[in-house]
């Protein structure tokens, strides 16, 4: 018992140390945000004092930039992309995994090509396409591009997991008179771990992307958080 207690305490101590190490950069940034620029470079690890305390950084962010708008735009783009990828990706994966037809394998391979070929190679053509659709400097244009970017991985992963769902379960539902759409919505909850993993791997590149917002939507009203932060840093770095 004492060995088990000792091991538990040791594990908790190690986790606490790792947590402090992970949080230290965040604490340092927050602490320095209340100091003047000279004080930051003179002693970045010192706490703010009456002589070094300053709110100039927060005043600049709040009154000379529009970060709430940038944050809202990023939420709309990321959320819209995830919804579209979930809907179209899971339905395409369901069709490829459930129905056997001529060209099924080739169609699956064709959809998986997007995993191997970076979408940024087609930036010029995407720009022309989005422009021809009248979606430049718009959030729907970004959502469409990011949806196309995330669908190949989603379809590839979800197809494999949906094939592992017992076929007897789906056939029993058909015998009971369930429609194909009802069976589809019955299968989706069974592959939630895979779906959640795909959504996370899709969300991170979309939220952090700078390339497509800079090319397709650089207008102030549709800037994402990443683009807005980069422009802000370039504008006020030497302030």
Please write the tens of the pLDDT for every residue from 204-239: 999 999 999 999 999 989 999 999 988 888 877 666
The Cβ of residue 144 has, within 10 Å, a number of other Cβ atoms equal to: 20
**pLDDT value at 68 more than 70:** yes
Contacts of 82 (CB under 8 A, 6+ apart): 199, 202, 203, 206
d(Cα 46, Cα 90) in Å, to the nearest integer? 52
Cβ neighbours around 158 below 10 Å, total: 25
Q: Give pLDDT tens digits for 79-119.
A: 999 999 999 999 999 988 888 888 888 888 888 788 888 88
CA-CA distances (angstroms) from residue 203 to 6, 74, 81, 197, 222?
A: 40, 11, 8, 10, 18
For residue 53, list its beta bridge partners: 35
pTM of the model: 0.80
Q: What mean pLDDT, rounded, does the chain reach?
A: 89
Write out the two tokens for 4.
């088990």
């Amino acid at each position: 018992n004492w060995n088990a207690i000792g091991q538990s305490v040791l594990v908790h101590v190690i986790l606490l140390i790792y947590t402090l190490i992970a949080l230290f950069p965040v604490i340092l940034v927050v602490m320095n945000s209340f100091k003047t620029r000279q004080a930051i470079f003179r002693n970045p690890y010192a706490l703010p004092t009456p002589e070094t305390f300053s709110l100039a950084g927060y005043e600049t962010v709040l009154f000379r930039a529009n970060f709430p708008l940038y944050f809202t735009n990023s939420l709309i783009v990321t959320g819209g992309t995830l919804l579209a990828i979930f809907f179209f990706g899971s339905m395409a994966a369901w069709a490829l995994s459930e129905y056997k037809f001529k060209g099924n394998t080739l169609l699956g391979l064709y959809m998986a090509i997007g995993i191997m070929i970076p979408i940024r190679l087609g930036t010029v053509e995407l720009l022309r396409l989005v422009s021809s659709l009248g979606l430049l400097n718009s959030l729907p244009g970004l959502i469409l591009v990011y949806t196309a970017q995330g669908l190949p991985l989603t379809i590839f992963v979800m197809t494999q997991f949906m094939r592992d769902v017992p076929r007897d379960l789906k056939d029993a539902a058909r015998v009971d008179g369930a429609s194909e759409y009802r069976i589809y919505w019955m299968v989706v909850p069974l592959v939630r771990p895979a779906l959640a993993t795909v959504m996370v791997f899709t969300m991170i590149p979309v939220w952090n992307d700078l390339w497509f917002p800079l090319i397709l939507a650089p207008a102030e009203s549709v800037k994402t958080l990443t683009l807005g932060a980069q422009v802000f840093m370039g504008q006020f770095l030497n302030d």
